[in-house]
Chain A
Amino acid sequence: SQQGEEDPQALSIQEGENATMNCSYKTSINNLQWYRQNSGRGLVHLILIRSNEREKHSGRLRVTLDTSKKSSSLLITASRAADTASYFCATAGYSGAGSYQLTFGKGTKLSVIP
């Protein structure tokens, strides 16, 4: 399976601190995406990094990708209480059945304490 696995499962930090979440996967990918899910809501796309990219920034988000280690990290700088949510990595590539799809990990639950 190419499913991403996030680490840690849960993270609690103070407002203003940085939050780092990691994702590992098993097979080759076309791109890797990070999504956020607030409690009781659907997932929201945050950022996409392609397999030939190593780093990408979007506002307070920084994503890195190391295809040799099959891992990615999401850094949220200067966290805010509103960043409290679950964060999922999703790998884009071919499934065992041969279809091209996103496969989601189980997420990191981030709590930012005011």
Chain B
Amino acid sequence: DARVTQTPRHKVTEMGQEVTMRCQPILGHNTVFWYRQTMMQGLELLAYFRNRAPLDDSGMPKDRFSAEMPDATLATLKIQPSEPRDSAVYFCASGLYGGQADTQYFGPGTRLTVL
């Protein structure tokens, strides 16, 4: 049963520290998304990649966030330095697209708490 995996599942850190979240998309999927979910803002798209190339990262604070896909099996989201307002659940999702966005498959999320 193919699924998206994310690590770590939970992360507690102090303000100013670097945080790295990892995602393994479903094998064969060519598009990877990073979302952030909070009670106030709901689910927000931060960035997405197709065939490992960044297509849109307009939802991501550029000064502290960065997203990469070093290879087809790994996507990373880094926050440096982290701030309390970054506390949220971060989801990775993947999908197979032939040109238009259809079904996305979500990972279990990384719950980040920045103290």
Contacts and interface: CB of A to CB of B under 8 A. Distances in A.
Q: By CB atoms of chain A within 10 A, which of B42, B43, B56, B102 has the most?
A: B43
Contacts of A41: 108-109
Contact of B58 (A30, A99, A105): A99
A107 B42 contact: yes
A44 B102 CA distance: 13
Contacts of B42: 104-107
Contacts of A31: 102
Contact of B56 (A101, A105, A106): A101
A43 interface: yes
B76 interface: no
Kindly state the interface size class of chain B when it binds its partner. Answer: 20 to 34
Contacts, number: 55
Interface in A72-93: 88, 92
B113 interface: no
Q: Is the interface of A mostly helix, strand, loop or mixed?
A: strand
Q: By CB atoms of chain B within 10 A, which of A35, A43, A107 has the most?
A: A43
A81 to B, nearest CB: 22
Interface in B35-49: 35, 42-43, 45, 48
A31 B102 CA distance: 8
